[in-house]
Structure 1
Amino acid sequence: MDLGNILSHLGSFLGTLMFLCAIYQKYFPGHIRSYMEKYSRLGLDLARPYVQVTFYEFTDHMFAKNAAYSTVKCFLTGRSTAQAKRLKAQLKRNQSLVLSIDEREEIPDEFHGVRLWWGSGKRVSKSKVLPFYPPPSADNKSYYKLTFHQRDRDVILGPYLNHVREEAEAIKARNRQRQLYTNNGSSWMGVVFEHRATFQTLAMEPSRKQEIVDDLITFSNAKDFYRRLGRAWKRGYLLHGPPGTGKSTMIAAMANLLGYDLYDLELTAVKDNTELLKLLIQTSKKSILVIEDIDCSLDLTGQRKESKKDRGDGEDKKGRPVKKPSNVVDDDKKAANPSKLTLSGLLNFIDGLWSVCRGERLIVFTTNHVEKLDPALIRRGRMDKHIELSYCRFEEFKVLAKNYLGIERHDLFERIEGLLQEKNMTPADVAEHLMPKTEAMTHEDRLESLIIALTT
């Protein structure tokens, strides 16, 4: 059969089809057409055993943003770059380029051996809008559509969609700018966290650093472990050592390693236990709660107070002088600090019933005098890992020399190694001597400055 005959038959078929459609529209009543369309769709659904779930960008309620659409969009961003053939690009406010799948594009996915497909498109609305209300743009009608076989309904609508949500949350946490918060009354105020400290630049012996890094990563991946144990997904760290040994720098390195926000809690600004719990509830997942210099925060960290009858008020019943215990707070100190926060409230905040209100959290205490802390505050289970940060030794010095001088060996290193074994100097003091004071200072000048400080 030649091309002319094919076109002739095709034209006859199309003409017949158009005639039948016209007859259908003209002579079949509307209610009969609706029944026929309904049952024809049911027949098609039986013949095509696939289920579709649509995630619209906006809900039907005054075009409110649909959180499920944003979650799917975040989830598909990485996959679309690797698998889709048609992509659309957008610039974010920070001028970074974001790629996502274009309309009417489809990408496959697999979950526990189940095959499924994601597609995107736009819904064309025929409804009229009020003249005083701006009509929605084409973008406001965007959607994502998930298609899968009906035999896999339980797997997709349960575990898979939970997987999509958790993966999207992890992606958002990795990509968002981290925040540094401090408390103002019963609320937090924050700024962008821009500290660049990492464990690579931290002045610490390499094996100890690796031990801490492994512990942090194990914790961040231990959601199922904590859930199986029925414990809150949190871990406490106590950093102790002399001033200038890098406690605050280590906290910044922790935040940068895990991508967590930082909440710097100032206990002296908290009025009572209730306000402390309000602050806890407002914190987010994937965060580090920090209380620096816990030994200096209110009267919470020393030995527990004796009862009033045991205090003494200058003399005993026989008139003999009695020395007031050092752990008793004077009335003038109480007046200067009207906080009603108690040690019991702080302990409940750390690992009581309220501590489970947010998951995946580190709680970090720092102190220069660990011996002053109440044993109940730092016992295992509250402060799970105790990390001592001490004076600078040669391993720590080599890290600082690489950071500040960009060198890993020098003729003066051997002499510095011996001096650091004889004299205690904090990493902060060592770093100060390695800092260039003028542009003319050479590496040798700065090392000589350190040697002079260690020998005087």
Structure 2
Amino acid sequence: MFSFRNSTGVGSFATGVGSATMSALSTMVMFNIIGMVNQLPGVLGRLCGHVKLWWFREVQITIPEQGREWYVHNRVFSAVETYLGTMSSDRALRLKAGTDRAGRNVMLTMDDAEEITDVFLPVSGDEDKRKARTREKAINVKWSYYCRQMEKGGTARLWNNEKKYYMLTFDARHRPEVVKQYLVHVMETSRDIEMRNRQRKIFTNSMGGAGDQLWTKVVFKHPASFATLAMDPQKKQEIMDDLETFSKSQDYYAKIGKTWKRGYLLYGPPGTGKSTMIACMANFLDYDVYDLELTAVRDNTELRRLIVNTTGKSIIVIEDIDCSLQLSGSRTTKRNSPGDEEAEAEDDEKKEQKKENEEGKKKKKEIGESKLTLSGLLNFIDGLWSACGGERLIVFTTNHVEKLDPALIRRGRMDVHIELGYCDFEAFKVLVKNYLDVEEHPMFAKVKELLEMVKISPADVAEQLMPKNIRAKDKASRCLDDLLQALQKLKEEKLRDEKTKNEQEEKEVED
């Protein structure tokens, strides 16, 4: 929100008249004459416009801190404050020191009644002229900052009796360029500065509320990066290249008629780094994270409201999608007889599934029965509502990819399928470098041999590599020895299970 005001100048009309009253009277008469003539059509009206530009040489735009409603913050004011921040520290003589909104960095702003000048080069629509523009075409504008104490009265604004505003002053001849180009330049530059200085956030959806209250946010400070991610280097590089290509492909997506988004399916056993992979993506692209808890979404309408209130440059995450709201029919098994329940109790996988179902029912009792459907979720991924916003990643994670509805994870919805498996030797080398700062060790050969024989998650390997005494001189040898013992134990368990299985098979053959 901003308002225009022309600063008045009497000029030669009042030449020779020493009285201030006559000057004011002459200005008023001229203004009234111009106002009446300006109503006339044709050449006379256009002539009047030129006279006004000559008479009133400067235009002023006021940009107050509050919008039209006193409780609404004016975003243009914030943009100007950000835009003038660096400029103020270099050019202004009187400054105020404070911190940015995050409270991290010192921010210098103009003091009351301080003025600075900015230079703007207008852009011509002709490409050749744009390349040939020179400093002679530059437009000088003047910024001023004011803070005025307001009289306290019987209004609802007693809590804030300060009126803060910026004043932009420029030559009236440059009105089109300033309004159509310079102010847009200020807003865009401000957004770029905020993106560079901003703190990433992680959001989670909450029950009820509206607008921003649909999401609760905290600062996102996860230290994970692709440099420390335990994964095959070649596979890791492929993921990084895909992410970088996506972030630079806005024009390409518009050309082919697709929404600027990309879906990632991360699947694998527990502890293989699915959540860490999401943190790496967010840090690599400098994106916010929206952790969408589907069990807290009442229906498809609320899901749409949530999506509309997300921003670009973000990752929308649904973890353990196979456990969310029974969206896949394969997640529920019907029990028709006591014998089926006994069989389920004997099967480890079915026992785990039963536990997940009970937890899901408990959540539903707490937050109410959800009416979210698979159709509503699919529309969020690649339907009409997926076009609300751009430059977003949609990431699903699951431990059981085979239990998901094929329609949910087909290519075009989940464009990239990434399997995060058990720890191999390449992943081990990354982990031992991260935890122990070791690149070579005599025990590596034995570790490699055992890793090829057993299945162990990167999280379990990392736990063994965590030093018990960080000051110990031989901590690397101790941690590697602990890892070898854990791997050897897994090997023995595997051999014992295989022996038991073979004996059972032989017994069945004999029977």
Q: Is the TM-score greater than 0.5?
A: yes
After TM superposition, give the deviation of residue 352 of structure 1 in Å.
Answer: 1.4
Corresponding position of 1:241 = 268
Letter aligned with residue 459 of structure 2: A
Aligned with residue 449 of structure 1, among 454, 474, 482:
482
1:182-230 per-residue CA deviation (whole Å, 9 max, x = no partner) reads: 2332433333323221222211223332332232233233333333444
Correspondences of 1:194-273 after superposition (within 5 Å): 194-273=221-300
- 2:398 paired with 1:367: yes
Structure number with greater CO (CA < 8 Å, separation at least 6) is 1
In structure 2, relative to structure 1, the CA distance for the partners of 1:124 and 1:60 (3 Å cut) is: farther
In structure 2, relative to structure 1, the CA distance for the partners of 1:347 and 1:47 (3 Å cut) is: same
Aligned with residue 19 of structure 2, among 17, 24, 33:
24
Paired residues of 1:295 and 1:367 also in contact (CA < 8 A): yes
Paired residues of 1:295 and 1:302 also in contact (CA < 8 A): no
1:29-64 per-residue CA deviation (whole Å, 9 max, x = no partner) reads: 853342358889976944999876553444576596
Q: Unmatched 5+ residue regions in structure 1?
A: 1-16, 306-310, 315-325
TM-score (normalizing by structure 1): 0.76
- 2:74 paired with 1:66: yes
1:338-366 per-residue CA deviation (whole Å, 9 max, x = no partner) reads: 43322111111222112222332211000
Paired residues of 1:236 and 1:362 also in contact (CA < 8 A): yes
Correspondences of 1:386-425 after superposition (within 5 Å): 386-425=417-456
After TM superposition, give the deviation of residue 304 of structure 1 in Å.
Answer: 11
Letter aligned with residue 293 of structure 1: D
Corresponding position of 2:118 = 107
TM-score (normalizing by structure 2): 0.68
CA distance in 2, matches of 1:278, 1:142: 34
Corresponding position of 1:7 = none
Corresponding position of 1:90 = 97
Letter aligned with residue 140 of structure 1: K
In structure 2, relative to structure 1, the CA distance for the partners of 1:65 and 1:348 (3 Å cut) is: closer
Q: Secondary structure of 2:266's match?
A: strand
In structure 2, relative to structure 1, the CA distance for the partners of 1:146 and 1:391 (3 Å cut) is: farther
Aligned with residue 190 of structure 2, among 164, 168, 175:
168
In structure 2, relative to structure 1, the CA distance for the partners of 1:203 and 1:335 (3 Å cut) is: closer
Q: Unmatched 5+ residue regions in structure 2?
A: 1-11, 35-47, 124-129, 209-213, 338-349, 490-511
Identical counterparts, % of pairs: 45
After TM superposition, give the deviation of residue 251 of structure 1 in Å.
Answer: 0.8
Q: Secondary structure of 2:411's match?
A: coil
Correspondences of 1:321-400 after superposition (within 5 Å): 338-400=369-431
1:82-127 per-residue CA deviation (whole Å, 9 max, x = no partner) reads: x6364735222625211346621223344655644453213597x9
CA distance in 2, matches of 1:56, 1:347: 44
In structure 2, relative to structure 1, the CA distance for the partners of 1:41 and 1:80 (3 Å cut) is: farther
Aligned with residue 301 of structure 1, among 328, 337, 341:
328
Q: Which moved more, 1:43-52 or 1:435-444?
A: 43-52
CA distance in 2, matches of 1:356, 1:165: 24
CA distance in 1, matches of 2:264, 2:94: 45
1:396-420 per-residue CA deviation (whole Å, 9 max, x = no partner) reads: 2222122111233333334333333
CA distance in 1, matches of 2:71, 2:295: 45
Paired residues of 1:304 and 1:374 also in contact (CA < 8 A): no
Corresponding position of 2:205 = 183
Aligned with residue 429 of structure 1, among 460, 465, 468:
460
Paired residues of 2:110 and 2:145 also in contact (CA < 8 A): no
1:311-339 per-residue CA deviation (whole Å, 9 max, x = no partner) reads: 9989xxxxxxxxxxx9xx99x98977543
Q: Secondary structure of 1:235's match?
A: strand
Supply the RMSD in Å over aligned alpha carbons: 4.2
Q: Secondary structure of 1:194's match?
A: coil
